[in-house]
Structure 1
Amino acid sequence: MTHARPLGADGATFLAAVRSGDPARFALITERHRRELQVHCYRMLANYQDAQDMTQETFLRAWNKRESFKGHAALRTWLYRIATNACLDFLEKRNDRTPVPSGLADPGSEVLYLQPYPDRMLPEDPQESVVARETIELAFIVAVQHLPPRQRAVLILRDVLGWPASTAADALELTVASVTSALQRARATMRSQLPDRRLDWRSPATHELSDDERGVVKAYIDAHEQGDLDGLTSLLRDELRFAMLPEMGTVPMTAEDAVGGWVSGGLFQRGHDDWRGTTTTVNRMPAAALYLRAPGDPEYRLFAIAVLHIVDGKIAELTGFDATDEPWLGLPPTL
């Protein structure tokens, strides 16, 4: 929870830092909030690199506006307010940060700027981590992108962070009535985008991978390393939803069509058949980091990240990300 409360030790220390005018002292106090603010920006923007930039922008704005902190609200509330408005300003200027039509038979839309979020950068605060999986999974992040920016901010402040309507209204310079109306519309959109998912993000949620999930990821990696196409096919649900970003959006297909398409595209053919993989997690979801060794190359090089949504022991959704030359996952570039 980040809403207003009486000035505590953290706020008093921060006020002293503000009055001292010492940027190092100021940075030392604000830096402890970096991870949670970065997750907040990621929920708003769905792009890890943009979230990093806006978190840095938040600290710059906080320094420039330091005299405006009077201790009437918690320091975290003040920083979240700045971060939210930095994201809104960013979205106002970037017309490429909205979902685009899928181009498929169904009238859906795709978030082609989506990037995965490395679990190693999630907050260490237990209160934040307990809800992290429900509100950091790719399905949630994608659904949020279908909200207009201000509705997006209202939903995250009210339903994810648990702010009172009055605090959210003050942060966004809206009336309480406007916040309440925006939240109702946002919730309706989220229900349409996440029809089969839990919508109560304020209650505790597990964030540990199950043994079932770990087993499927291992089998998925083994199938790549052994070139076992039948085994790979058997791991996929026949109503698979597949995406490989940023080249294409989500495509529903059968398991056989998915594997057949990968083979016809060159995977598992000569030059693309020497795989190694490691199990990892991004967005609190099971994932496989896939490394490919080209003929004559002594090393396996990071090729792609496959993020898996597993239902009843089968892969129901597979979101692939091109990971070549991408720094945002913190994975070793070679094996």
Structure 2
Amino acid sequence: MRKVDHRTLGLARAGDEEAFRELIEPYRHELQVHCYRMLGSLTDAEDMLQETLLAAWRGLSGFQERASLRTWLYRIATNRCLNALRAAGRRAVTEQSPPFEPPEPTGRDEITWLQPCPDTLLEALPDTAPGPEARYQTVEAIELAFVAGLQRMPPRQAATLLLRDVLGFGTDEVAGMLGTSPTAVKGALQRARAALGQEPGRARPDAALERELVRRFAEAFAAADVDRVVELLTDDAWLSMPPAPHHYQGPVAIASFLRAAFGFRGERRMHLLPTRANTQPALATYLAERGARVATPAGIIVLAARTDRIKAVVRFHAEGLYRRFELPEALAEPG
């Protein structure tokens, strides 16, 4: 546990903004990731981080050091996120559709606000192990499926699971952070684990196999080769495209969607740049109109690989994402 420098704390309490920044800077990135897990949206997480830091600045005189500064900051961040999730209309996202007539989806995914998280944000996390109560490693606890699963459960259950199983805070600590009893924490944690329905340590391919899967997928996708894409999928693979709610599961349904999507692409050329999101391989897509000299952003695809196949394909709308991933806003067309 990082010790508080009491001189710096005293200066911050006296209104020294530089001292306050020195106090909270070691926790900034991990608090942002925590807000992202809670809210599923980078945009909302950035807003909530600022609210957390403002609340900490205003409430620093009330920090009595009964808990660590880190625990105190997590208490503020968690409760700010819970307040946001209770706010009416926060999830009122305008429903979107693909720019073509899609086939009938397998289902509709209500988690339309989900956004990917660039791995560069995770690389900035402090090199500290989770607490002794943690059950998940950082890699598992930021995957898209995990973050989406949190969005589907009641917010206090999600908060309990994050604080206990991801961050490793003790039951009594979590009870204090959430203003409830240890018994209530244990009950919420049991329900959250059941709702998530997955155990830590699920199989992911080794790095070499993962790179090969991504290479083959990228080649097939750029070539609009439906059959080659489908060959790489598991039998229960699914495809989604937040913020559109359309959800396709299984090779037949996914192939039907891809034929429509590739038909809409027509003669336009597609280019793909590798990147990483949520500790998973991702591809930034660019489309060039026939005769155009540049290719422009067309969305980021995040892939979830399991053993030797691809389990999930999630394509995100391009708006605002390329800047966060430090990707170019245009690519020059060869020739």
Amino acid at match of 2:315: G
- What is the CA deviation profile of residues 32-59 of structure 1, one whole-angstrom value per residue up to 9, with x for unaligned ones? 3111001100111111110111011111
- Cα distance, 1:9–1:315 mapped onto 2, change above 3 Å: closer
- 1:261-276 counterparts in 2 under 5 A? 261-267=257-263, 269-272=265-268, 274-276=269-271
- What is the CA deviation profile of residues 101-138 of structure 1, one whole-angstrom value per residue up to 9, with x for unaligned ones? xx9777x8531111101111114323369922110001
Indicate which of 309, 318, 322 corresponds to 2:317.
322
Other-structure match for 1:124: 125
In the comparison of the two structures, how many residue pairs are matched?
314
Query: 1:10: Cα distance to partner?
Result: 2.9
CA distance in 2, matches of 1:174, 1:63: 25
Unpaired runs of 5+ residues, structure 2, are 94-103, 131-135
CA distance in 1, matches of 2:227, 2:308: 16
CA distance in 2, matches of 1:208, 1:98: 37
1:241 and 2:242 matched:
no
Query: 1:159: Cα distance to partner?
Result: 1.2
Other-structure match for 1:156: 162
Query: 1:271: Cα distance to partner?
Result: 4.3
- What is the CA deviation profile of residues 180-239 of structure 1, one whole-angstrom value per residue up to 9, with x for unaligned ones? 221122122122xx3xxx337xxxx99996111111111111223344443223222343
CA distance in 2, matches of 1:45, 1:161: 16
Query: 1:280: Cα distance to partner?
Result: 1.3
Is this contact kept in 2: 1:308–1:315, CA < 8 A?
yes
Query: 1:158: Cα distance to partner?
Result: 1.1
Amino acid at match of 1:261: F
Root-mean-square deviation (CA, aligned residues, Å) is 2.8
- What is the CA deviation profile of residues 79-105 of structure 1, one whole-angstrom value per residue up to 9, with x for unaligned ones? 111100110111110444399xxx977
> Residue 302 of structure 2 aligns to a residue in which SS?
strand
Unpaired runs of 5+ residues, structure 1, are none
Query: 1:268: Cα distance to partner?
Result: 6.6
1:72 and 2:66 matched:
yes
Other-structure match for 2:289: 294
Is this contact kept in 1: 2:105–2:253, CA < 8 A?
no
Identity rate, percent? 35
1:140 and 2:115 matched:
no
TM-score, normalised to structure 2's length?
0.84
CA distance in 2, matches of 1:250, 1:230: 19
Other-structure match for 1:183: 189
- 1:1-335 counterparts in 2 under 5 A? 9-97=3-91, 110-122=110-122, 123-127=124-128, 131-191=137-197, 194=198, 198-199=199-200, 210-254=207-251, 256-267=252-263, 269-272=265-268, 274-326=269-321, 327-335=323-331
Query: 1:318: Cα distance to partner?
Result: 0.7
CA distance in 1, matches of 2:46, 2:205: 25
Query: 1:251: Cα distance to partner?
Result: 2.0
CA distance in 2, matches of 1:206, 1:127: 24
Is this contact kept in 2: 1:117–1:283, CA < 8 A?
yes
CA distance in 2, matches of 1:132, 1:116: 15
CA distance in 1, matches of 2:258, 2:157: 38
Amino acid at match of 2:114: L
Is this contact kept in 1: 2:226–2:259, CA < 8 A?
no
